Structure 1
Amino acid sequence: MRIEGLGKAVAPLDGPWQFHLGDDPNWASPSFDDSRWEKLTAERPWGEQGHPSYTGYAWYRLHLSLDSAPGNQTNFALLVPHLDDVYEIFWNGDSIGRSGKFPSYPIWYRSSDAPIIYPLGPGAPEFEPRLEHPFHGTLAVRVWKAPLLSEDSGRSGGFEGSPVVGYPEPLAAYKTTLDYQWLRANQFSFSEYLLYGIAGLLGLFSWLRDRQQRTLLWMTGFALSPLIRMVLYGMRIAWPVGVSNALGPPVSSIRDISLWFLLLWLLRLDDNQSLIRLVRRFAIVSLSVSILDGLLSLVDASVGWFWLIQIADALLTGIYFITATVPLALVALAVKQRRRLDLARRLLVIAAFLSGMMQVVQGLAPQGRRFTHWTLADKLREPIFHIYGSAVSLPTLTGIFLLLALLYTVYRTSVDDRRRRSLLEQEMSSARELQQVLIPETFPSIPGFAVTSAYCPALEVGGDFFQIIPLDGDFTLVILGDVSGKGIKAAIAVSLIVGLVRVLVENTHSPAQLLTELNRRLCGRMQGGFATCVTLRIDPDGNCTLASAGHPPPYLNDRELAIPGSFPLGLFPAVTYEESRLRLQINDHLALYTDGLLEARSKTGELYGFERISELFATLPDAARAAEAAVRFGQDDDITVVTLVRVPISKESTGIAADTRII
């Protein structure tokens, strides 16, 4: 091939090139006789020129004569576009450049579609024609094509565009033009992926602020996955194909799984636990299959048994695309159940259906197409229109539609969630106000006793309660209990119990009788729950009468009192309770507590336990110090402590007022 008068222009080497299947190192020599080789153009791969589905080695050769323009030197260079897959270029028998690594353990790069410039060495003097500035030699290109996978068309292999020759400066300018054209043609796609990335980062930062919002985590997985795939496949980064193909399927699976759980929530299907379990199983299958499919890409493609890998790839791909129909099934289920969907969710249903159908068709259409010769996959990628030179295809439009529909639906749902959360916070505030009424911060003085109390709810409102009620004849009733459960439900039960206690003390001052009547009224009204309780009646002389309904016994100084136990309140209506009596001496320390103190749990899972409680009360602490010790250890439940210390009665002072410490 002769090219004359090259100056600032560049010239394509479209051929014809001499072409031969197979591999022989002698074919790089300029003296080798290739006259009997067949002729192919470099504008199209060999799969479209009589060698469909061929994989393995092949060689291209071209005898080149260049006539430099007057005054120009013969420092030519060669720009090589995409070559499929591994190649090495020889000029007059010398290697001037390569891409990838030949078998065994071949490596080829995802960025091989980017044009690369290789400087040509000197021409061959013995072949120089009689020109003023001759440059003559032989280009030889050794190519290795990897085995085909299930979606390969069989039409690839070797050159996919003509190499270009010229001086380095014009060639560099030409490469810049090609790069600009590539960027311009992909600007719409880059904008789409950038939009995905922004949405994903916003979702990630929002989830980091509120880890309870799993929907934000699913939105992050859905939106960031396309951006990661663009980095793996679309950025001309020199990723080995094995690496990008190993990472790509799991990333796609994460996007699919994230979309499934988003649809469960946004289409209001998350109340169906059987459906959630089924989707989780599909998620496990999808992720497992995609990981296995990716690992197959790391197998040496040059082994003789690679056909087994091809079969496994086809089977795994088939399983993966069965799981890809999950969005269609969820949309169909939401429509069938006639879920009350607003405008945002209706748009999401349409977008998810279109995107799901597009994904399934795009995945299935290229499978086995070297046998079926279907062209649907290529037609789907054809541009519908162009925006400033950037092609916009149907998959791009459906992807953007789905993203916008998701963003809008997530926004509307988040607004509704904030509104519901605000109402819930108002209810919690009302519950806290109610609890402050039920557990007032200041109590009347108890003649002959110094009283301290501490209340530490595990949540905003708790299920512990205590009351100190003055009775006739300088008697005082102290009642402390614990309702099963936490939160608003427990707080409502507490309000019921305290109300009943206030009514019952009008008729009885006996602790045992009080518990018996309280138990009878609570049975059937606790919604499957129960309450433990300890009640005592004291007088200024230290006389104390106690009764317990399944509650931990009080501590007198450094020992636990032995009092009769019984069933908690609210379980069996016919239960009667027994009383115990004791007399407290001056400076005796009586401590009542709920089981939240006993069940405080450290970060390692260790309970506070009876031994530590005994050691704690042996120090005769006030209520605040006892409660804070358990909180520091690791609070796991509501904690309430009340201490009573008998003090001498003087004419000037008959008792010490009690204040509740709320921690």
Structure 2
Amino acid sequence: MLRPAWRLSHSCCLPAHLLSVSFLVASPPAPALGQPPASTLAIEGLGRAVARLDGPWRFHLGDDPTWASPSFDDSQWEQLTAEKPWGEQGYTSYTGYAWYRLHLSLNPSPRDQPSFALLVPHLDDVYEIFWNGSSIGRSGKFPPYPIWYRSSNAPATYPLHPATPESGSEHENGTLAIRVWKAPLTSEDSGQSGGFEGSPVIGYPESVAAYKTTLDYQWLRANQFSFSQYLLYGIAGLLALFAWLRDRQQKALLWMTGFALSPLLRLVLYGMRIAWPVGLSNALGPPVSSIRDISLWFLLLWLLHLDDNPSLTKLIRRFAIISLAASISDGLLSLLDASVSWFWLIQIADAVLTGIYFITAAVPLALVALAIKQHRHLDLARRLLVIAAFLWGMIQVVQRLAPQGQRFTHWTLADKLRAPLFHLYGNAVSLPTLAGIFLLVALLYSVYRTSMEDRRRRSLLEHEMSSARELQHVLIPETFPSIPGFAVTSAYRPALEVGGDFFQIIPLDGDFTLVILGDVSGKGLKAAIAVSLIVGLVRVLVENTHSPAQLLTELNRRLTGRLHGGFATCVALRLDPHGNCVLASAGHPPPYLNDREVVIPGSFPLGLFPTVAYPDSRLPLQVNDHLALYTDGLLEARNKSGELYGFDRTRELFAALPNAARAAEAAVHFGQDDDITVVTLVRVPMGEESTDIAPANRNL
């Protein structure tokens, strides 16, 4: 039975320069033989306006290539509007193929060319458009191996080639058929999507192009606040990155970079109308979000002074690894074929990974709660950060939890949370937007204040290190007294700013000279402080004893329990102008006499056991004999492959009778890993004594 003719008047939502349009549905033209008639939408007198094709459109589930034909009888198909998806019109949670069809009768003005264009907003997910049975365009790729694009893509336009007028008719008739494929639903889908997400429009190409330009302008204007927010994040991230590149020790600046640049990357993936395939953007999006979360965790650890807890820091590292692994795995699932029959397994895996992702979203809340529980001293900057992190964390938890399974729970909390609180120059401003800006400002302020505090602390530390270097200049002076009957050279190469090696040359009564060289366990400022204690004690003890063994015994007794678990090795020599040498060792590497190692009774290092007694040994030295003292930093020099300098190279080195500077440089060139000190004593005839201090000593 023929459907009656009907008339619909509808005003398009267009800017002022575009006209409203009337839609006429006229009686259909005579059908072809054997074909039932179909309702036709007649559009007349467009002029410079465009017509919105709200419908009703004929709609049918399934897929058949013959449904593109204009002669196909679709009178038994259901009618749906194009103003909203099929999920809101009785086909909730439907995925797969479906077709839309609309019969048009286009009547151009006599002065205009019969040429039209179609503007199509986004269709969910893959679609192909047919005009009178011929394909005029598509978006994405149908199964197998489907590809579709994000819903933020700009509307697309397609030219409609003139239809062939029917005999005796002043209208141009044509049939629009749209084939659509909806991808399987994810855990966050409400089931309300599918197909049209807005009505297409038709008009002359110039009018459609103008209408699309207007839509693009409206989209840009509505998103200018959002773009400004992301630009603010990007500027903050770049500033933090440049600051970190200048000072790599400021790890907080690196975390700030990760936190601030991640939203900008997500904007590129999701909000710039770039035609990213959904699989690709969903593969990259979760890891980017995870990097932002992890960066925030470590920023909170540092800013809330929680990083002094090694167990908590280790736990956060584990959470970071879990979060990044889960997000990468979740992203990789998006690259799998969504058209396979076992896609439900992928959906289950996605739900599990989303659960892990949700748990990690609560980490900022836990860190804030822990800082409050431990009564950490929080200044104004950190208090603002606590409030901002708590608010942002709660919103993130709700935003991630509420959409999960919403097609079963019908929760609308996430939608309400994203609802605009107010509009600013046409831009919707929501609670998550305000919370994100508040958190960024609080972080920037806290990072600035904390960086200034760290800079002051580092300045104080550098001042202390400078004082330690000055102290070491006193302990290891640039000039030493000459030793009668000996030519002396020395070299000192600390591994850090200050070191734990020491040596002293002290004149004694009766033309005797005491030479003492040692090494404190550890490096840096703590070792330098221990050195100052040892040198001070040596200077006091030599007032009462000239015996190297007795000196070490008394030194050990006074040091026991005062090195805080550390120790010191030491070798002491007493020399006279005639080449008589008395020496004692406290666990120190034995000296080299010419090309052989001097045999000295071994004993414990200083500072371990209070009752240790050290024996004296005698070593006669002839003219031209070369005696070399050194610390174990020379033996333990390590090259890039991990090989130690070792005893064999040390023996070959001293067999060449080098001065102290050449011996130290050989070890440094091999690969310095610890403080290196070398002292050489060469027996010379009386009157030829000399003392040579290596230039490195002047660079302490």
Q: Distance in 1 between matches of 2:695 and 2:622?
A: 26
Equivalent of 1:261 in 286, 295, 298: 298
Equivalent of 1:12 in 52, 67, 71: 52
- 5 Å-filtered alignment, 1:356-367, equals 356-367=393-404
SS in 1 for 2:682: strand
Kept in 1: contact 2:492–2:694 (CA 8 A): yes
Q: Distance in 1 between matches of 2:172 and 2:641?
A: 79
Other-structure match for 2:585? 548
Other-structure match for 2:477? 440
Other-structure match for 2:90? 50
Partner letter of residue 582 of structure 1? L
Other-structure match for 1:501? 538
State the 1:129 CA deviation: 6.0
State the 1:304 CA deviation: 1.3
Q: Distance in 2 between matches of 1:150 and 1:129?
A: 56
Equivalent of 1:164 in 201, 209, 220: 201
- What stretches of structure 1 move > 3 A for 4+ residues in a row? none
State the 1:574 CA deviation: 1.0
State the 1:144 CA deviation: 0.2
Q: Structure 1 residues 370 and 111, CA, compared in 2 at 3 Å: closer, same or farther?
A: closer
Q: Distance in 2 between matches of 1:128 and 1:641?
A: 111
SS in 2 for 1:586: coil
Q: Distance in 1 between matches of 2:521 and 2:565?
A: 9
Q: Using CA pairs below 8 Å that are at least 6 residues apart, which structure has the higher relative contact order? A: 1
1:381 maps onto 2:418 in alignment: yes
Equivalent of 1:119 in 127, 147, 159: 159
State the 1:660 CA deviation: 4.3
1:21 maps onto 2:61 in alignment: yes
Other-structure match for 2:695? 661
State the 1:390 CA deviation: 1.4
Other-structure match for 1:59? 99
Q: Distance in 1 between matches of 2:222 and 2:403?
A: 23
Partner letter of residue 589 of structure 1? H
Q: Distance in 2 between matches of 1:158 and 1:659?
A: 86
State the 1:659 CA deviation: 2.6
Partner letter of residue 420 of structure 2? P
Q: Distance in 2 between matches of 1:450 and 1:221?
A: 60
Other-structure match for 1:144? 181
Partner letter of residue 252 of structure 1? S
- 5 Å-filtered alignment, 1:216-365, equals 216-365=253-402
Q: Please give the per-residue CA displacement for 1:442-501, whole angstroms capped at 9, x wherever unaligned.
A: 011111111111111111110000000111121111000000011111111101110111
Partner letter of residue 454 of structure 2? D
Other-structure match for 1:418? 455
Q: Please give the per-residue CA displacement for 1:576-614, whole angstroms capped at 9, x wherever unaligned.
A: 112221222222111111111111111221111111111
Partner letter of residue 136 of structure 1? N
Other-structure match for 1:100? 140
Kept in 2: contact 1:445–1:658 (CA 8 A): no
SS in 2 for 1:453: strand
SS in 2 for 1:218: helix
SS in 1 for 2:628: strand
State the 1:657 CA deviation: 3.3
Q: Distance in 2 between matches of 1:136 and 1:389?
A: 40
Q: Distance in 2 between matches of 1:219 and 1:593?
A: 47
Q: Distance in 2 between matches of 1:503 and 1:103?
A: 90
Q: Please give the per-residue CA displacement for 1:599-640, whole angstroms capped at 9, x wherever unaligned.
A: 111122111111111121122111111111111111111111
Q: Structure 1 residues 78 and 129, CA, compared in 2 at 3 Å: closer, same or farther?
A: farther
Partner letter of residue 130 of structure 1? S
Q: Structure 1 residues 128 and 163, CA, compared in 2 at 3 Å: closer, same or farther?
A: farther
Other-structure match for 1:391? 428
Q: Structure 1 residues 35 and 135, CA, compared in 2 at 3 Å: closer, same or farther?
A: same
Partner letter of residue 77 of structure 1? A
Partner letter of residue 104 of structure 2? L
Q: Please give the per-residue CA displacement for 1:314-362, whole angstroms capped at 9, x wherever unaligned.
A: 2221222122111111111111221111001100110011001101111
Kept in 1: contact 2:488–2:682 (CA 8 A): yes
Partner letter of residue 581 of structure 2? C
Kept in 1: contact 2:152–2:272 (CA 8 A): no
Kept in 2: contact 1:83–1:113 (CA 8 A): no
Kept in 1: contact 2:153–2:274 (CA 8 A): no
Q: Structure 1 residues 128 and 597, CA, compared in 2 at 3 Å: closer, same or farther?
A: farther
Kept in 2: contact 1:92–1:124 (CA 8 A): no
The share of aligned pairs that are identical, in percent, is 82
Kept in 1: contact 2:499–2:675 (CA 8 A): yes
1:195 maps onto 2:195 in alignment: no
Q: Distance in 2 between matches of 1:46 and 1:251?
A: 33
Other-structure match for 2:15? none
SS in 1 for 2:482: strand
Q: Please give the per-residue CA displacement for 1:25-67, whole angstroms capped at 9, x wherever unaligned.
A: 0000011011111111111111111111111100001111212
1:130 maps onto 2:169 in alignment: yes
Other-structure match for 2:112? 72
Q: Structure 1 residues 199 and 112, CA, compared in 2 at 3 Å: closer, same or farther?
A: closer
Q: Please give the per-residue CA displacement for 1:554-593, whole angstroms capped at 9, x wherever unaligned.
A: 1111221111111101111111112221222222111111
SS in 2 for 1:572: coil
1:82 maps onto 2:116 in alignment: no
SS in 1 for 2:44: strand
State the 1:99 CA deviation: 0.6
Q: Distance in 2 between matches of 1:110 and 1:558?
A: 78
Q: RMSD of the alignment, in Å?
A: 1.4
Equivalent of 1:534 in 566, 571, 586: 571
Other-structure match for 1:34? 74
Equivalent of 1:594 in 610, 614, 631: 631
Q: Distance in 2 between matches of 1:350 and 1:112?
A: 33
Q: Which moved more, 1:419-428 or 1:328-337?
A: 328-337
Partner letter of residue 118 of structure 2? L
1:571 maps onto 2:611 in alignment: no
Kept in 1: contact 2:153–2:275 (CA 8 A): no
Q: Distance in 1 between matches of 2:438 and 2:591?
A: 66
TM-score, normalisation: structure 2: 0.92
Q: Please give the per-residue CA displacement for 1:293-331, whole angstroms capped at 9, x wherever unaligned.
A: 222212211111212222222222122212211111111
TM-score, normalisation: structure 1: 0.97
State the 1:654 CA deviation: 5.2
1:603 maps onto 2:640 in alignment: yes
Equivalent of 2:501 in 448, 457, 464: 464
Q: Distance in 2 between matches of 1:135 and 1:658?
A: 107
Q: Distance in 2 between matches of 1:316 and 1:360?
A: 15
Partner letter of residue 192 of structure 2? R
Partner letter of residue 161 of structure 1? G
Q: Please give the per-residue CA displacement for 1:55-83, whole angstroms capped at 9, x wherever unaligned.
A: 11000011112122232212211111110
Q: Which moved more, 1:427-436 or 1:601-610?
A: 601-610
SS in 2 for 1:379: helix
Partner letter of residue 696 of structure 2? I
Q: Distance in 2 between matches of 1:392 and 1:346?
A: 25
Q: Structure 1: which 5+ runs fail to align?
A: none
Q: Distance in 1 between matches of 2:601 and 2:352?
A: 70
Q: Distance in 1 between matches of 2:439 and 2:683?
A: 73
Q: Distance in 2 between matches of 1:366 and 1:350?
A: 25
SS in 2 for 1:110: coil
Other-structure match for 1:212? 249
